[in-house]
């Protein structure tokens, strides 16, 4: 479904979002992270450097309620997340997401890494074939958030009907920090949402480094259900 058609469904004739969440997306996710850091300690032989490591993993569900179009052209969404075997969900975050730049602006809380990975693909007009170059590639203008600069590259590697497979490369740098993301996403250009996301992340700071793996898979789409279309 195109962004223009979706906008009509999401908003009343006066531009006000319809009552209640007009579209709800549910994704299953898995997240694994390994971090390594160095710290100095005092000993009888003088200062010595210690290497510390930590690992974490979790899985669960991310739910996105698309609340309507923002005044400046983005989508306003509310994102909630549950973690398997934990009774309480994480606090809901409300964000505006922008497809042309993959910018994410949230109120108060910072989304989790898996939420950010998903929100990157949910901006209004994320998919626009006119932006593709001769190599089926497009690049978003660098985003600057404080000391952090973010660059995104996407390349269409496969097309199956309305679904495109995208090669994804993202770089975050600044203030002695560097993170690189590499992976793939299956994106439904008709529905305007990703079906699957699979990203590997490498991070490096002044005294630490790490790697992570993020996977998300679409479980249900309320718009597809209301139209009688099966979710992917």
| CATH class name, domain 3-36+57-226 | mainly beta
Residues linked to residue 105 through DSSP beta bridges, in sequence order? 96
Which of 143-160 are b and which e, b meaning 16 or more Cβ less than 10 Å from the residue's Cβ? beeeeeebebbbbbeeee
Predicted local confidence at residue 128, as pLDDT: 93
pLDDT value at residue 231: 52
Residue-wise pLDDT tens digits, 115-171: 999 999 999 889 999 999 999 999 988 888 888 899 999 999 999 999 999 999 999
The tokens describing 161, both together, are 């009907």
Write 37-41 long-range contacts (CB < 8 A, 24+): 37/207, 37/208, 37/209, 38/207, 38/208, 39/207
Whether the CB-CB separation of 25 and 194 falls below 8 Å is answered with no
Q: Where are the domains of the chain?
A: 3-36+57-226
Residue 17 to residue 9: CA distance in whole angstroms: 9
pTM: 0.83
Q: pLDDT tens across 29-85, in order?
A: 999 999 987 644 444 444 444 568 899 999 999 999 999 988 888 899 999 999 999
Instruction: Please state whether beta strands 193-204 and 208-221 pair in parallel, antiparallel, or not at all (unpaired).
Output: antiparallel
Convert the pLDDT of each residue in 189-223 to its tens digit. 999 999 999 999 999 988 889 999 999 999 999 98
The two three-digit tokens of residue 49, written as one number: 């450097």
């Amino acid at each position: 479904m195109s962004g223009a058609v979706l906008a009509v469904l999401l908003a009343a004739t006066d531009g006000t979002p319809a009552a209640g969440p007009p579209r709800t997306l549910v994704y299953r996710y898995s997240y694994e992270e390994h971090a390594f850091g160095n710290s100095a300690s005092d000993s009888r032989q003088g200062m010595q450097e210690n290497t510390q490591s930590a690992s974490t993993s979790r899985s669960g569900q991310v739910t996105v309620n698309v609340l309507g179009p923002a005044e400046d052209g983005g989508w306003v969404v509310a994102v909630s997340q549950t973690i398997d075997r934990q009774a309480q969900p994480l606090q809901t975050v409300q964000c505006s997401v922008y497809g042309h730049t993959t910018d994410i602006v949230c109120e108060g809380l910072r989304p989790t890494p898996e939420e950010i990975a998903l929100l990157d693909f949910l901006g209004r007009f994320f998919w626009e074939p006119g932006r593709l170059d001769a190599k089926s590639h497009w690049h978003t203008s660098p985003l600057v958030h404080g000391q952090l600069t973010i660059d995104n590259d996407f390349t269409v590697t496969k097309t199956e009907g309305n679904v495109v497979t995208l090669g994804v490369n993202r770089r975050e740098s600044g203030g002695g920090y560097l993170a690189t993301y590499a992976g793939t996403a299956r994106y439904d250009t008709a529905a305007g949402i990703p079906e699957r996301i699979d990203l590997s992340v490498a991070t490096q700071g002044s005294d630490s480094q790490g790697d992570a793996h993020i996977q998300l898979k679409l479980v249900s789409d309320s718009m597809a259900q209301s139209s009688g279309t099966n979710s992917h």
